[in-house]
Amino acid sequence: MLRMTTCKDPSLLSDVEWDVTVKKKPMAWKSWVRCTIFFFLILIVLGLVVLFMFGFVYRHDFLGFVKLKPSSRSIPHPLINQKIHAGTMRMAAKLFNEPNSNENTVWSPLTVTLALNLLLEGTTGETAYEIKSAMGWIGIDKTHIRSYVSRVTTRLNHLDNLDIIVANRIFLDNSYDVSMSYKNILSQHYRANIDQIDFNNADAVENINRWGRKESRGQIKELIPLGTIDAATKLVLSTFLTFNGRWKLPFSPNHTQKAEFTLTSGKNRKVDMMYQTGRFMYGEFPAHGFKALELEYIEPNISMTVLLSQRISHLKALLYEQDGKMLINIRNKMKKDNVDVCLPKFTVETGRSIEHQLTSLGIRRLFTPTAANLQSITDNSELYVQKIIHRVKMQVDESGTVGQASSSSVLEGRSLTPSFCADRPFLFYVEDKEMNSVLFWGEYNGSK
């Protein structure tokens, strides 16, 4: 404490003593506690801000109870195709790479993408977010996804040298009123319709199968089996794809012969093996234990890539771990070379519901009665997706033009030429390189 006295008369200052006392008032303990608490609160707030930013950047759950969504900033248009392509490869590696499969399988990432986009058009909120997140579409506006899918399907429907059928349809219970705007989006941009049927009727399955036979020109006899749906079913989305293309370098039927194919079990069985030698895009990847061969179709930019490994289980595990990223730039590491090729003739058909696979990718609300939000399709809040039925049929053979011989043949002295002989289980995918779209993803292991 400082106490001072002033005097205006200078004469009085000569014999005056100044007594100045300075006292320091001790700080109360309560003030000290308040300051300490305030200091720690500042540290906590700063720590939360750091955690928030870390979770935002790396897309982690924030403290386990607030889910931070990835940035929804728009992606530049030139990168949209690449983003969708990366999502498709991830889906193929995660969904369709069944680790212990002993069956020949074929899937269509394209039609699954199409089906999910049809549903995305009818969803909002967390249901829509789960679809976009699982497919790697965060940051891509619905209109851009719609435009991409429309361009892909329009291109495929107008290819001159490829016999392909892509079809999809939503079957909705006739007790629901469908939004007119949703109907218009499907018909204008996807050439898809909604059929309203009575799922209580015993003919419901036959009505769906009749549509499948008509759209596939009789190639698919049974789209869904009896017992797949019941009276509780309210919505079924069905997609299928059939494909028949001619090779740019056809195999000669005269060279096809019975040959040994080693099954996953280690046993052998006879298959019809096609042979030829020609110039193909070819690559060896010893670090990952596989070879890759690209077989072009006569239709420009449509090709099949075959992945051959000594241990197919190892290759599938590798693709799964890397989210399929290894396949995105695989073509850049391949080169044109003379290659001895042998490939089995095969027809593969797969048909099943894929809700379980999609749930494993994080799409859960769509199939949950109490959580699905499909209010852009109908105002009824009870609607959810019970089934997504996926059926694909694919045939691989010599596919030569009538009367046209192969430009190459099986030669002696084969040790001088790289050999790619698919006489053991392999993976394959068919791709539209112009649109970065994967039409098929499959596995052939020689099973009947």
Which CATH number covers residue 238? 3.30.497.10
Q: What is the pLDDT, as a whole number, of residue 65?
A: 38
Residues 219 and 272 in one domain: no
Q: What's the structural domain count of the chain? A: 2
Residues 303 and 210 in one domain: no
Residues 263 and 387 in one domain: no
Question: What is the pTM for the complete model shown?
Answer: 0.76
Residues 238 and 326 in one domain: no
Residue 72 pLDDT exceeds 70: no
22-47 pLDDT, tens digit each? 444 455 556 666 777 777 777 787 77
User: Band of the pLDDT at 421, cuts 50, 70, 90?
Assistant: very high
Q: Report the pLDDT averaged over residues 433-441.
A: 89
317-369 pLDDT, tens digit each? 888 888 788 888 788 899 999 999 999 998 888 877 788 888 988 999 998 88
Task: Determine whether 245 is exposed, middle or buried from the number of CB atoms within 10 Å of its CB (0-12, 13-18, 19+).
Answer: buried
115-120 contact pairs (CB < 8 A, 24+):
115/168, 115/237, 115/239, 115/388, 115/390, 116/358, 116/363, 117/145, 117/146, 117/149, 117/190, 118/168, 118/170, 118/186, 118/190, 118/192, 118/237, 119/237, 119/366, 119/374, 119/385, 120/145
Strands, E assignment, 101-146? 105-107
% the chain with pLDDT above 90: 22
Identify the sign of the CA torsion 85, 90, 95, 96.
positive
Tell me if 117 is assigned to some domain: yes
CATH code for the domain in which residue 276 is found: 2.30.39.10
Residues 86 and 154 in one domain: yes
Residues 212 and 298 in one domain: no
Which comes out higher in pLDDT, residue 341 or 87?
A: 341
Residues 205 and 299 in one domain: no
Tell me if 143 is assigned to some domain: yes
Tell me if 285 is assigned to some domain: yes
Tell me if 112 is assigned to some domain: yes
Tell me if 407 is assigned to some domain: no
Domain that holds residue 225: 77-246+347-395
Most confident range (mean pLDDT) of 1-15, 181-195, 223-237 is: 181-195
Tell me if 66 is assigned to some domain: no
Residues 340 and 354 in one domain: no
Residues 273 and 309 in one domain: yes
Residues 156 and 289 in one domain: no
Residues 131 and 115 in one domain: yes
Tell me if 434 is assigned to some domain: yes
Residues 426 and 311 in one domain: yes
